[in-house]
Amino acid sequence: MGFTGHLNGKYLMTMFSPPYKFLIHCVVHALSHRKGAYDETSDYIMNIITCLVLNMPYNVSQVIFDHLIDNIGSGSGKYIMYPMFIQMMIDDK
């Protein structure tokens, strides 16, 4: 993937080669549970990207539900950020 930075928990998109910058950008915007700082990537997002690149299975829905539960437990009302994903899961079942 051409990563040239340090492994410290946050990965900047500028440290990757151009094809992977676009992949990281798409995954961060699609699955990130934050409102800003889209140039840095968390470790769980990098796990998803690594599994996509290596064509390995990964339970993305478990990651989303874990963050959904964290946001519900915090009492901040951030769980409202996930209605489209939850509706898609209900429609699929």
The two tokens of residue 63 are 């990651």
Residues 44 and 66 in one domain: no
Residues 6+ apart with CB under 8 A from 82: 64, 68, 71
Claim to verify: residue 77 and residue 39 sit in the same structural domain = no
Percent of the chain's residues with pLDDT above 90: 2
Give the rounded distance of the alpha carbon of 26 from its chain centre: 9
53-90: pLDDT as tens digits: 889 998 888 877 777 777 777 766 655 666 666 667 67
Domain that holds residue 20: 1-58
14 and 33 belong to one structural domain: yes
Contact present, 2 and 16 (Cβ < 8 Å)? yes
Q: Which of 12-16, 82-86, 89-93 has the lowest mean pLDDT?
A: 82-86
% of the chain surpassing 70 pLDDT: 66
pLDDT at 48: 86
In terms of domains, do 24 and 53 share one? yes
Please give the model's pTM, rounded to 2 decimal places.
0.62
